[in-house]
Chain A
Amino acid sequence: ETGVTQSPTHLIKTRGQQVTLRCSSQSGHNTVSWYQQALGQGPQFIFQYYREEENGRGNFPPRFSGLQFPNYSSELNVNALELDDSALYLCASSITTGGSYEQYFGPGTRLTVT
């Protein structure tokens, strides 16, 4: 069974640029969630995708957007990067069934905005 993978591992971007982060979900999982973890803080929920549709969103501006593909992999896109976007971005996959909340996390992508 393959776990959750994310790419790239590290990324350096300049303020104002756009970035795309990628996530492959664990085998058999149909739901992907994205989190932002700033240095020294707990992860904050960005949004979740289920069956290629956004299925919940946290308190993040519209310049944070995402996609889920038929194979359940996902992308996180961030436009007009700001310095405060520097963080570890975590992807988590899960199975959306009644009463099941367990999420499995990837190793993350470390984004630095200069």
Chain B
Amino acid sequence: AQSVTQLDSHVSVSEGTPVLLRCNYSSSYSPSLFWYVQHPNKGLQLLLKYTSAATLVKGINGFEAEFKKSETSFHLTKPSAHMSDAAEYFCVVPNNNDMRFGAGTRLTVKP
């Protein structure tokens, strides 16, 4: 079965500094991978997806992620954090008919 592990439950950054949210995946092959964001009391919004085309994937709101097979990682980055980026972020891998979510990383952005 496919699975993902988010390495940090909480990340805190200052506004304007880089963001790094870490995700490792477990799979016997190169899977599709997704990052979703969930703002307080909101549903989940797709940030970006990797589907074995380019290993560097650009998403919405300035986020990007790099698929590294050698490290089984799919870390999410953003060069400069904005206050509106404060939210819960989920790394997700499809497993047959369902999506397997990581436990989530709460991003706090300090002014």
B-binding residues in A (CB < 8 A):
4, 33, 35, 41-45, 48, 55-56, 58, 90, 92, 99, 101-108
A42 touches B97 (CB 8 A): no
B interface size (C-beta, 8 A): 21
- Name the residue on A nearest B31 (C-beta): A101
Q: How far is the CA of A43 from the CA of B4 in the complex (A)?
A: 13
B46 touches A104 (CB 8 A): yes
B51 touches A33 (CB 8 A): no
Q: How far is the CA of A86 from the CA of B94 in the complex (A)?
A: 25
Q: How many A-B residue pairs have CB under 8 A?
A: 52
A41 touches B103 (CB 8 A): yes
B44 within 8 A of A: yes
Chain A residues near B32 (CB-CB < 8 A): 99, 101
- Minimum CB–CB distance from B26 to chain A (whole Å) comes to 15
- Known contacts A41-B104, A102-B49; is A90 also within 8 Å of B97 by CB? no
B111 within 8 A of A: no
